[in-house]
A and B are shown apart, each in its own frame.
Chain A
Amino acid sequence: MEGSIIETLNFNLNRTTSLQLLEAIAEDCETLSEKNLSFCKYVLETALFEGISKKYSPSVLVATALSLCENVLKCKIEPKLQPSQKPNRQEIAECFKDLCMVLQGSNKFELSALKRKYNRSRFHNVAKIKLTLN
């Protein structure tokens, strides 16, 4: 199976994931606390779980996670981005809507392993946060 996967992927195993982008932004962003970072990671893994990550690029997913974090945790995050790095607002709005639907529990599936993982104190219990938007 391992050989089949590597051959099918044509030995191209290098990916830019949304987590890499988030960590790169977090390095330069002083306003992104540990709790905010955990919440963003929870949002990104939820997107992976629900298949939302297939619809949007990593940059859109990260921008949406940061935007959700600002809204839910009532904080101001100012990532240092060049104008050319800023993703499309329309796409962010669509992604925001999709993720809100999932996080508000309107989806029929349970996020059990993810919730267990992010309910730990190591991740600041971010899975317990109720989604109330401004």
Chain B
Amino acid sequence: MVNIEKLHPQETQKNVSEKMRQILIDWMIDVHESFELKEQTLHLALSYLAEYSAMKEIGKENYQLAGIACLWVASKYE
């Protein structure tokens, strides 16, 4: 598994601020609640998002899409 700490996600994401990351996570928690997904799904999705954003430049126009796609992948995996 990739060590996220060493990859410094905020350095990889030049256009995404910490505030934007928190707004996205807040929204993902709301979506997770309204779709009544398993608790483990949220943890997995946020882990995928952290790792993906540490490895790839996403850009703010696709950041929300990346978040919901991570939740989608995690819900299928679960």
A15 neighbours in B (Cβ, 8 Å): 1, 43-44, 47
* Given A1-B69, A17-B44, A19-B39: A49 and B77 interface contact (C-beta under 8 Å): no
Say yes or no: A41 contacts B39, CB within 8 Å: yes
Shortest CB-to-CB span from B4 to chain A, Å, is: 5
User: Is A90 part of the contact surface with B, judged by Cβ < 8 Å?
Assistant: no
Which A residues have a C-beta under 8 Å from some C-beta of B? 1-2, 4-6, 8-9, 12-13, 15, 17-20, 41, 44-45, 48-51, 53-55, 109, 111-114, 117
**A-side interface mostly:** helix
Output the nearest chain B residue to A108 by Cβ-Cβ distance. B19
B-side interface mostly: helix
A113 to B48, CA, bound (A): 20
Chain B contacts to A: CB under 8 angstroms: 1, 4-5, 9, 18-19, 21-22, 25-27, 29-30, 33, 39-40, 42-44, 46-48, 50-52, 55-56, 62, 65-66, 69-70, 72-74, 77
Partner of A2, one of B21, B30, B33, B69: B69
What's the A-B contact tally at a CB cutoff of 8 Å? 77
* B40 contacts A19, C-beta separation under 8 Å: yes
Once the chains are docked, how many angstroms separate the CA of A51 from the CA of B18? 9
* Contact indicator A5/B48 (Cβ below 8 Å): yes
A130 to B12, CA, bound (A): 36
Q: How far is the CA of A50 from the CA of B69 in the complex (A)?
A: 21
Interfacial chain B residues near A53, Cβ < 8 Å: 46, 50
Residues B65 and A1 in contact, CB atoms below 8 Å apart:
yes
Docked-complex contact B26 and A49, CB < 8 angstroms: yes
Q: Is the CB of B52 within 8 A of A54?
A: no
Question: Which of B21, B43, B52, B70 has its CB near the most chain A CB atoms (within 10 A)?
Answer: B43
**A12 surroundings in chain B (CB, below 8 A):** 1
A48 near B33 with CB under 8 A, answer: no
